[in-house]
Amino acid sequence: MAQKHDIAVLPGDGIGPEVMIEALKVLDLVEKEYDVTFVRTFGNLGGVAIDEEGKALPQTTIDLCRASEAVLLGSVGGPKWEHLPPMEQPERGGLLPLRKLFGLYANLRPAIIFPSLVEASVLKKEIIGDGMDILVIRELTGGLYMSQPKGIEGTAPDREGIDTLRYSEAEIKRIGHVAFQAAMKRQKKLTSVDKANVLASSVLWREIMISLSAEYPEVELSHMYVDNASMQLVRNPKQFDVLLTENMFGDILSDEASALTGSLGMVPSASLAEGSFGVYEPAGGTAPDIAGQGIANPIAQVLSMALMLRFSFNMIEAADRVDAAVEKALEAGYRTGDIFFGNPGEKKVSTSAMGDAIAANF
């Protein structure tokens, strides 16, 4: 009997809905090829949820995600909701509580420069060579984003804004294992990024990482301060294989790493809980400036779907095939505007034509 999986589909705001269509188009082919059905239930998260259900993370969406094995997410946010109180906005009222509620502690953001897109990178060809492949792993439910105490205290003009950076040994171990295990499947090099020359949480982080490394003798563990890491990423990104870091540092470094790939529209992400549940979304955001025009790059959404196959459903071969189909579409010259340079052989195409090209190469 064909396998059946329940997934939640939350297209979100901005370009989310239009790139989601393309990811689902490719998922249709996976279903046919692998005799599996993904029962897709649509829900609202972010701005669209505020508009339709009055809250960025409505109870209906929480229930839907609870009833699902994985969540395929577009992206959330946009200028339309920026006037709302911060805690009600799509990001702080929708995305961050979703991460916390479902324990999505491990955020994986692969920043890959495909050989055919070396030119799209912001870096010079001498530095990039024939490509780059870095996996940024960001701790996603602790650290500076989530620790208590947090808030604005006192009365003006003497108020204080407070954020706390706190990590328990258990939290560090949990994400540390994810990083070592990912490194084992790759080049076996792990760079743990911290600020141990200043922050106590980083001193503990480094100590725990060193103690974990005894369990992974094959992995070469190194440590780097975050300021140096941000510089090394633009100077010599090819030295990195897996890069592990705290929530806030990871937010910053993952954007930097994705700029190296040439476009934010290329970088997918997986946010994983313990077990097989995960939320899969492009790292790039809602791009409100181009939303609704049919020109957004759907690749990050398609690759996010592939990460879902890989991590939530253990469909490694199917995931590899989706990744390869993206690469083949790029090799064949298909380019959305963000990665189009007008070189011979390049064809500037719409969101849906890029989805078609990927599907045709699956």
Residues assigned a catalytic role: 145, 195, 227, 251, 255
Amino acid at 157: P
Among 241, 251, 281, 323, binds Mg ion (CB under 5 A): 251
From the CB of 96, what's the least distance to ligand IPM, in Å? Answer: 6
From the CB of 283, what's the least distance to Mg ion, in Å? Answer: 7
Residue 95: name its binding partner from Mg ion, ligand IPM, none (Cβ under 5 to 8 Å by kind). Answer: ligand IPM
In terms of CB distance, is 219 or 290 closer to ligand IPM?
290
From the CB of 147, what's the least distance to Mg ion, in Å? Answer: 18
Residue 91: name its binding partner from ligand IPM, Mg ion, none (Cβ under 5 to 8 Å by kind). Answer: ligand IPM
Which of the stretches 196-204, 215-223, 251-259, 348-356 binds Mg ion when contact is defined by CB under 5 A? 251-259
Structure tokens that stand for 112 in this block: 């890959």
Answer whether the bond into residue 157 is a cis peptide, omega within 30°.
Answer: yes
From the CB of 18, what's the least distance to Mg ion, in Å? Answer: 21
CB 43 within 8 A of CB 8: yes
The binding site for ligand IPM (CB under 6 A) comprises: 77, 91, 95-96, 251
Task: Give the other-Cβ count within 10 Å of 360's Cβ.
Answer: 13
Rounded Cα gap, residues 66 and 8, in angstroms: 9
Residue 175: name its binding partner from Mg ion, ligand IPM, none (Cβ under 5 to 8 Å by kind). Answer: none
Rounded Cα gap, residues 23 and 299, in angstroms: 8
| Helix segments in 117-238, DSSP class H | 125-128, 143-146, 169-184, 200-213, 226-235
In terms of CB distance, is 18 or 251 closer to Mg ion?
251
In terms of CB distance, is 77 or 265 closer to ligand IPM?
77
CA dihedral 222, 226, 229, 230 (to 10 degrees): 170
Residue 73: name its binding partner from Mg ion, ligand IPM, none (Cβ under 5 to 8 Å by kind). Answer: none
Got the DSSP string for 106-133? Answer: EEEEEEEE-GGGGGGSSS-HHHHTT-EE
Tell me the β-bridge partners of 7: 40, 70
What single DSSP character describes residue 182? H
Indicate whether 246 belongs to the interface with Mg ion (CB under 5 A).
Answer: no
In terms of CB distance, is 22 or 91 closer to ligand IPM?
91
Using CB under 5 A, list all residues that contact Mg ion. 251
